[in-house]
Amino acid sequence: MAQTLDRNETGTESDQSSAAPNRAEARMWYYMRISGLILVFLALIHFAITHIVNDVVETDFAFVQTRWSNPLWRFFDWTLLALALSHGVIGVRTIAEDYIRKPRLRVAVKALLFTVVAGIFLLGTITIVTFSA
């Protein structure tokens, strides 16, 4: 992690002084784009069904029950959860790298961010898997 931080201090994407962090940064760069492309479909379909085609007051417990009686919807929802959380957490990590200049504060904020998002991922996964329709 400390090496990743160095990259930010030393320079731009093309900086070759430390290859390993750059490779990690490059992978994240691609991950943001690939997950983004998939999220266009998953997130917008999800929003259209649960906020536009159905009104908010209609997406009650009975709605969740009907929807999750089909394992394919559980799979859809879990994929959306995993992609949106991972894309979002990597994105906010970048924001933290850019704006938080104090190294120790930056590490603390990122640790908090990863912990909260991991907890929410666990919670969502348990809910999707264990819900009895």
Partner 1 sequence: MLSRGTVYKGKTGMWAFTAHRVTGFLVLMFLLLHVVDVTLAGISEHLYDTVHAVYGNVLLRLFEVGLLGALVFHALNGLRIIAVDFFDAAVRRQKQLAWAVVAVTAVVTVLGGIVIMLPFFTHKPVF
109 binds partner 1 (CB under 8 A): no
Q: Which is nearer to partner 1, 45 or 108 (CB)?
A: 45
88 binds ligand HEM (CB under 6 A): yes
The alpha-helical segments, DSSP class H, found in 1-133 are 2-10, 19-47, 61-67, 71-99, 103-130
Looking at residue 107, its amino acid is: V
* Cβ–Cβ < 8 Å for 76, 42: yes
* Cβ–Cβ < 8 Å for 15, 6: no
Minimum distance from CB of 133 to ligand HEM (Å)?
26
Candidates 67, 77, 81, 87; binder of ligand HEM (CB under 6 A) is: 87
Question: Using CB under 6 A as the criterion, what x/- string covers residues 36-75 for binding ligand HEM?
Answer: x--xx--x--------------------------------
CA torsion 30→92→56→41, rounded to 10°?
A: -10
* Cβ–Cβ < 8 Å for 5, 103: yes
124 binds ligand HEM (CB under 6 A): no
Candidates 84, 106, 109, 110; binder of ligand HEM (CB under 6 A) is: 84
Looking at residue 114, its amino acid is: F
Binding site for ligand HEM (CB under 6 A): 29, 32-33, 36, 39-40, 43, 84, 87-88, 91-92, 94-95
